[in-house]
Amino acid sequence: MNLIFLGPPGAGKGTQAKIIAGRFHIPHISTGDILREAVASGSELGKKVKNIMESGELVPDELMIDIVKERIEKEDCKDGFIFDGFPRTIVQANALDMMLREMDKEIEGAIYFNVAEDEVVKRISARRVCSKCGAVYNLVYSPPRIDGICDKCGGTLYQRDDDKEETVRKRYSVYMEKTVQLLDYYKKQGKLFEVDASKDIEDVKDKIMEIMEKIRGGR
Ligand code: ADP
Ligand code: AMP
């Protein structure tokens, strides 16, 4: 199944994408993770995007489109994928549709995570990520068993550079300016589904599973 998880930063897209991708044995493609790995490795791409990411702005479309094109051509995407954080602009969405068409594929569903700004700011301020395996925690809602240590691999937890409150507000405003239009884009294609992402992780997961059944049934 070829899916997109859409919604503001901090809505819980990555958390759910990890769960759903694991169940359906398809890759979770987070463009934010790909870029953070590039920054951490000090590659040319990483050098180009580091400051942009820290400021909360978007990385240029052409760069993102090239990254995604290369990624979806990989063997592990043959039975589907979940995009988390891509597309983020209409230009990216059009490019994605075009590259999929060339591969004789299409997006089957765009799942919109609906949640208010104050809640995402609250969630992101308490987000911690494992530096070793990328597992995501929340100091309020889903804390690790031992402070600062990943339950899954023992790695050290850190706070993302762009998770400071003022950068989070900036990222939210960029979302409202450039990304929210995608809801209409996928609605017009009859592919938009919505979940109330203010619910707890288990409830949101159940709702997404229902949507997955609907998408599969409509094939
Ligand atoms: P996104 O990928 O949309 O930016 P994340 O999945 O990283 O969001 O979630 C943001 C933060 O909120 C993380 O700390 C995560 O543990 C927490 N979180 C995710 N889903 C929920 C939820 N349903 N309720 C409360 N906290 C959540
Ligand atoms: P995320 O992990 O999805 O919150 O993304 C973190 C940051 O990476 C964003 O604030 C952007 O600077 C950059 N980024 C990730 N995905 C994209 C994308 N599709 N288009 C442009 N910039 C992106």
| pLDDT, position 94 | 98
Q: Using pLDDT thresholds of 50, 70 and 90, give the confidence band for residue 47.
A: very high
Name, in order, each residue with C-beta under 8 angstroms of 29's C-beta and a sequence gap of 6 or more. 68, 71, 72, 77, 81, 82, 83, 84, 86
Q: Is 171 a catalytic residue?
A: yes
Q: Is the pLDDT of residue 165 over 80?
A: yes
Q: Which helix (H) or strand (E) holds 103?
A: none
Q: Is 23 a catalytic residue?
A: no
Q: Is the pLDDT of residue 219 over 80?
A: no
| pLDDT, position 28 | 98
Q: Strand ranges (DSSP E) for 44-135?
A: 81-84, 109-114, 127-130
The pLDDT tens digits of the residues spanning 92-116 come to 999 999 999 999 999 999 999 999 9
CA count, 13 A, side-chain hemisphere, 17: 31
| The model's pTM | 0.96
The pLDDT tens digits of the residues spanning 29-44 come to 999 999 999 999 999 9
Q: Is the pLDDT of residue 25 over 80?
A: yes
The first and second tokens of residue 46, run together, are 């990483």
The first and second tokens of residue 203, run together, are 């409830």
| Atom of ligand 1 at shortest range from CA of 199 | 23
The active-site residue out of 69, 71, 160, 191 is 160
CA distance 17 to 80: 13
| Atom of ligand 1 at shortest range from CA of 204 | 23
Mean pLDDT of the chain: 96
Burial state string for 13-31 with b = 16 or more CB within 10 A and e = fewer than 16: bbbbbbbbbeebebbbbbb
The active-site residue out of 36, 88, 128, 207 is 88
> To the nearest whole percent, how much of the chain has pLDDT over 90?
96
CA distance 34 to 101: 24
The active-site residue out of 36, 123, 128, 171 is 171
Query: Is it true that the peptide bond before 87 is cis, omega within 30 degrees of 0?
Result: yes
Stretch 157-182: mean pLDDT, rounded?
95
Ligand approaching nearest to the C-alpha of 182: 2
CA distance 207 to 74: 29
Q: Is the pLDDT of residue 218 over 80?
A: no
CATH number for region 2-115+172-217 = 3.40.50.300
Burial state string for 58-76 with b = 16 or more CB within 10 A and e = fewer than 16: bbebebbbebbeebbeeee
Q: Is the pLDDT of residue 166 over 90?
A: no
Stretch 129-158: mean pLDDT, rounded?
96
Is the distance from the beta carbon of residue 1 to the nearest atom of ligand 1 less than 6 Å? Answer: no
Is the distance from the beta carbon of residue 85 to the nearest atom of ligand 2 less than 6 Å? Answer: yes
* Cα dihedral sign, 3-94-49-68: positive
Q: Treating both helix axes as pointing N-terminal to C-terminal, what angle do 165-174 and 44-55 enclose, rounded to 10 degrees? A: 100
Q: Using pLDDT thresholds of 50, 70 and 90, give the confidence band for residue 216.
A: confident
The pLDDT tens digits of the residues spanning 119-140 come to 999 999 999 999 999 999 999 9
Classify 125 as helix, strand or coil: helix
- Where do the domains of the chain lie? 2-115+172-217
